[in-house]
A and B are shown apart, each in its own frame.
Chain A
């Protein structure tokens, strides 16, 4: 849409992320070089440079004088003599177009310059000094954004006798607030960082901080916004010229040429084309250039290097071994599950060759740090991988159904009635615009049907069964009116609506207070006992595992590295990673623990080593660990993916 109001012009800035916490570039190629690798950006830039050059050297480049009348050849279409034809007075259209650019580009430049100066200056000051300066700023932004911009331009034109330069400067000011907000956000971010690094405390002058630390960060947003705005300003300039303001005929302007074309629209409609297309392409180029700059600076902060990309591509070729047979006694039997997700450079396997069994009524833990693939495993079980995610190989056998080959409708009929989910953020997992009761109702209706009263009665029953003290009042409340614990109970009630055989609980207590955590765990245990339901509990918290699980799988970097009955594993882990996790096990339920005994963090999938994934962090690693390590069975019912598991036992006894 033709962006004529200041509020439209400010719009592109709103989705610009405040770059305050963007990390330094991984890639060392300068932004402009990478910009030149984008064909659209190059074409746009070339077109704009051409326009500017043509306008600057108009006297030399234009084939005719723009004011030369040739009354013998009026309104001729494009011809060899007049490439773009002639206007009603026989003047050469191409020459007028070239000269017309002078006025338009200068006007656009005035607007863009004002826009940048006002936006940067006010944003910097507000973000840097904060306090009442910032409050005044915020208020002023609110006011200016609500001003009907184009009409105020008309006021300015009335008062200043049609002076276009003043009008364009006013346009710049009126459009600056959205941009100023972006600058303020970035500045605020830098200021907070500086407090942490104490640069400010050590007495650097303000000017120095602004120039050295803040300006470089806002250069990207400045270029993006200035480019988009320049395009919009050209449109406003042409529009005002079309309305008859600004430079008067016979001096050519693009907007003026459109008026002239309009007056002969029935004789020679072609005349509309050259000025309109020239203008539209200019605006389009500015918009595309702005987008390209935004994308390139976003790419710069992207994490994956070319090297890692190649390695993840190489891993794709290495096929996982054929999946073993599922356990017929198990309710859920996963074999050789391999899941890939899209990354910035293609796809990478984030879960590799996972085997997992859950028997009816059993509680099984799936344990690991964040980033080890346990939540993706859960999503894969439910057929809910994020867009682009794919189960590459493996089987997920739920009773008689293989979920990896099941069609959409079969999957849908299984979800809720045989396998269900509760997740980490209880409040976020409820729809904010419906009451708790309405949401449970929906699933009850879906699984059992029945009259409105019957459904609601069942809902209240469910809410009672999750030990909510006042189910009627909870049913009437919206999610934001519920505490975390209450919301999680409602979520459990929703999951129970279809009487599933297996409940996947994805970090169900992580976001809750310690006391509430214990209550929710007890609730899960008692529900399970009552209904004979199996639970797959995904968590990073050994306390939780120890309290409720019979068996546990430990995952690290996409692999199951150990599985065992919980008591046995706590007593004697058979994998260095499990041992490390257990050693750093906090007092029960203390959130945000650190793995004191394991240095480093889980590597990104692209950086997994070819051999044992844990090798870079493992104290026991030797050369033997550089080759892929299969799961072995060091003791009955126990599996370990470690070549040196026996050393753990020696270590324990020594």
Chain B
């Protein structure tokens, strides 16, 4: 177990280094650089036109004349201390920009995961035990859920519940400390969208792992020797099926961060995804890079958490 976690951690650290370094390499390959971006965008004090001298000066000021590795080291040594730099476009501190957006995305994704997992596990269990028609419905909806673009689904929900029925706000976000009720209302449609597209496929996967468990030798042994059906399904089935389901919940959680990028744009939620999209439009690399690093951290931490729960549920891993 400890060994597994140590290996995970080492891969994770490498992963973060690799991804952040790759973004640096990509940056150097691309035509133009941040200095040009600033000068062209006119958000610097220089306005539109600029001379080559001004350009070189800005490059020096930003450290862009240094070798790539030096630039990377500079960024990294700050990043480790929690300083992800300053956006050259907006002049905003990247770390504080991200930390002000993080709660929005996290509430969206955490609640989305909880709703999806709860519904999916419930449906999956019922269709594993009852089988039949419900199972086929789950199958069909998992394919449809895969095929529907979630931003489009979001717009349909807006058209129905916000525009036609006027029941819920179409866009916008109210922080929880301003009004918990409004906060909840502003998140209902986004979360409904995320769950609608993911629940059926989650249910299908839960059902498959439950069916897999129920077909194993020990279940036959328990049945043959008189164990009750309730105990077989809820005690043995659930505990064993939970082991792969934990992995699925981890994947779902990570996947919803990507889904949130679109959902935040549709509902104008000031989350990280929207930050990343705006930064991408403005060629604001330090911000995008900051988001990448934070999201990679989220993935890494999620995987670690999954490993820990997995080990806790699975005596084979726990002991060794």
Interface residues of A (CB under 8 A from B): 1-5, 7-8, 11, 139, 142-143, 146-152, 154-161, 231-232, 235, 238-239, 242-245, 258, 261-262, 265-266, 269, 272, 275-276, 279-281, 283-284, 287-288, 291, 379, 382, 384, 412-413, 415-417, 419-425, 428-434, 439, 442-443, 446-447, 478, 480-481, 491, 494-495, 497-498, 504
Chain A contacts for B155, CB-based, 8 A: 258, 261-262, 265, 272, 276
Query: Are A265's CB and B276's CB within 8 A?
Result: no
Using A146-B303, A415-B225, A433-B313 as known contacts, say yes or no to A242 and B265 having CB atoms under 8 A apart.
Answer: yes
Cross-chain contact of B15 among A4, A146, A415, A443 (Cβ < 8 A):
A146
Interface residues of B (CB under 8 A from A): 11-12, 14-15, 18-19, 23, 26-27, 29-32, 143-152, 155-156, 158-159, 163-164, 170, 194, 197-198, 201, 216-218, 220-229, 231, 235-236, 239-240, 243, 251, 254-255, 257-259, 261-262, 265-266, 276-277, 279-281, 283-285, 288-289, 291-292, 295-296, 298-300, 303, 313-316, 319
Residue of chain A at shortest CB distance from B276? A154
Using A148-B257, A261-B155, A262-B155 as known contacts, say yes or no to A143 and B14 having CB atoms under 8 A apart.
Answer: yes
Using A2-B262, A5-B254, A265-B155 as known contacts, say yes or no to A148 and B288 having CB atoms under 8 A apart.
Answer: no
Chain A contacts for B227, CB-based, 8 A: 416, 442-443, 446
Cross-chain contact of B266 among A262, A384, A434, A504 (Cβ < 8 A):
A262
User: In whole angstroms, what is the CA distance A394 to B43 when docked?
Assistant: 89
Query: Are B251's CB and A423's CB within 8 A?
Result: no
Query: Are B151's CB and A423's CB within 8 A?
Result: no
Q: Shortest CB–CB separation between residue B96 and chain A, in angstroms?
A: 19
Query: Are A412's CB and B229's CB within 8 A?
Result: yes
Residue of chain A at shortest CB distance from B228? A446
User: In whole angstroms, what is the CA distance A480 to B277 when docked?
Assistant: 50
Query: Are B217's CB and A161's CB within 8 A?
Result: no
Q: Shortest CB–CB separation between residue A153 and chain B, in angstroms?
A: 9
What is the predominant secondary structure among interface residues of chain A facing chain B? helix
Cross-chain contact of A148 among B229, B236, B258, B284 (Cβ < 8 A):
B258
Chain B contacts for A2, CB-based, 8 A: 146, 148-151, 197, 259, 262
User: In whole angstroms, what is the CA distance A291 to B299 when docked?
Assistant: 29
User: In whole angstroms, what is the CA distance A385 to B313 when docked?
Assistant: 30
Using A243-B265, A433-B240 as known contacts, say yes or no to A1 and B295 having CB atoms under 8 A apart.
Answer: no
Chain A contacts for B197, CB-based, 8 A: 1-2
Query: Are B289's CB and A283's CB within 8 A?
Result: no
Sample of 14 further A-B pairs with CB below 8 A, known A7-B251, A232-B146, A498-B225: A2-B262, A143-B11, A158-B279, A159-B27, A243-B277, A258-B149, A265-B155, A272-B159, A281-B147, A287-B143, A421-B225, A428-B216, A478-B316, A481-B319
Query: Are A244's CB and B315's CB within 8 A?
Result: no
Q: Shortest CB–CB separation between residue B133 and chain A, in angstroms?
A: 16
User: In whole angstroms, what is the CA distance A385 to B211 when docked?
Assistant: 15
Q: Shortest CB–CB separation between residue B297 and chain A, in angstroms?
A: 10
Q: Shortest CB–CB separation between residue A379 and chain B, in angstroms?
A: 8
Query: Are B224's CB and A384's CB within 8 A?
Result: yes
Cross-chain contact of B225 among A150, A154, A425, A443 (Cβ < 8 A):
A443
Using A147-B19, A155-B23, A269-B159 as known contacts, say yes or no to A428 and B217 having CB atoms under 8 A apart.
Answer: yes
Query: Are A423's CB and B221's CB within 8 A?
Result: yes
Using A154-B276, A159-B30 as known contacts, say yes or no to A279 and B149 having CB atoms under 8 A apart.
Answer: yes
Chain B contacts for A424, CB-based, 8 A: 217
Q: Shortest CB–CB separation between residue A403 and chain B, in angstroms?
A: 12
| Residue among B156, B223, B298, B300 facing the most chain A CB atoms (10 A cut-off) | B223
Query: Are B146's CB and A283's CB within 8 A?
Result: yes
Using A3-B146, A280-B149 as known contacts, say yes or no to A433 and B288 having CB atoms under 8 A apart.
Answer: no
Query: Are B258's CB and A5's CB within 8 A?
Result: yes
Residue of chain A at shortest CB distance from B248? A11
Query: Are B146's CB and A272's CB within 8 A?
Result: no
Residue of chain B at shortest CB distance from A415? B226
Chain A contacts for B257, CB-based, 8 A: 5, 148
User: In whole angstroms, what is the CA distance A555 to B266 when docked?
Assistant: 68
Query: Are A412's CB and B228's CB within 8 A?
Result: yes
Chain B contacts for A422, CB-based, 8 A: 221
Q: Shortest CB–CB separation between residue A88 and chain B, in angstroms?
A: 15
Chain A contacts for B255, CB-based, 8 A: 1, 3-5, 7-8
Query: Are A231's CB and B147's CB within 8 A?
Result: yes
